Amino acid sequence: MASWQKYAAEAYGTFVLVLIGTGTVMVTGGGDLVAIAFAFGLALVVGLYTVGRVSGGHFNPAVSLGAFLDKRIPLNDMLFYWVSQVIGGVLASFALAFLASKDAVATTITRLNPSVEAFNGFFGEALLTAIFVMAILVLSKSASHTKLLGIGLTLTAVHLAGIGFTGSSVNPARSLAPAIVGGEFGDIWVYLAGPAVGAVLAWVLYKVIVTGDTDLTDDVKVMM
């Protein structure tokens, strides 16, 4: 598989995820939490079944970080995946702006519940991302033909739990895209740093609980 195919697959999959997920946020006015949660989960399933075999189906910088930490992709692929994912997400937001308006895209920006402080939101995004990436690290190794559905349903579950608190991004590309097109960045650091920390936590949990590796020093030395 050529490298450009993998990067194109990541851009396409993220485009599908952001278009369908944030498009549903837009048309529902952000009020139908169940519809939004399933839109993101089903959009991920669509991307996974369509181009997941080409790139591994990350469509999320946090997932790529988890894959890199587990030595499933090299550093250069992770960096190019990140760029491709952001490009795909931004193109999706531009498409929605063309269909509706820039102001409509701004309504899809991930925002904290007014009762949630920024640091608490960071904690929530890290926790939700850890659950999501942990599931991917485990399920992607499974031989079951239902594993892609399991990944999609995990994304649905974390959205159902987290939308009311943080908007449940768990994906920096998903948050960056409408912020760039809508021109509002607000607490964007929460949606960049939270998922990154969550990916690291997911990898540690995966190594300790699933593989039984309680000494991570060798893994860390290899990365440095």
Per-residue model confidence (pLDDT) at position 221: 56
Question: Which residues constitute the domain of residue 159?
Answer: 3-223
Indicate the residue type of 137.
Answer: L
**What pLDDT, in 10s, does the model give residues 187-203?**
999 999 999 999 999 99
Per-residue model confidence (pLDDT) at position 164: 95
Per-residue model confidence (pLDDT) at position 10: 98
Per-residue model confidence (pLDDT) at position 145: 85
pTM strictly above 0.85? yes
Per-residue model confidence (pLDDT) at position 224: 56
Per-residue model confidence (pLDDT) at position 218: 65
What gap in Å lies between CA 131 and CA 27, rounded to an integer? 28
Per-residue model confidence (pLDDT) at position 215: 74
Q: At 87, is the secondary structure helix, strand, or coil?
A: helix
Give the count of domains, the chain: 1
Give the CATH number of the domain where residue 70 resides.
1.20.1080.10
DSSP structure class, residue 90: H
What gap in Å lies between CA 127 and CA 21, rounded to an integer? 21
Nearest-CA neighbor of 78 among 70, 87, 68? 68
Residue ranges for the chain with pLDDT beneath 50: none
Q: Which residues contact 15 (CB under 8 A, 6 or more apart)?
A: 88, 89, 91, 92, 95
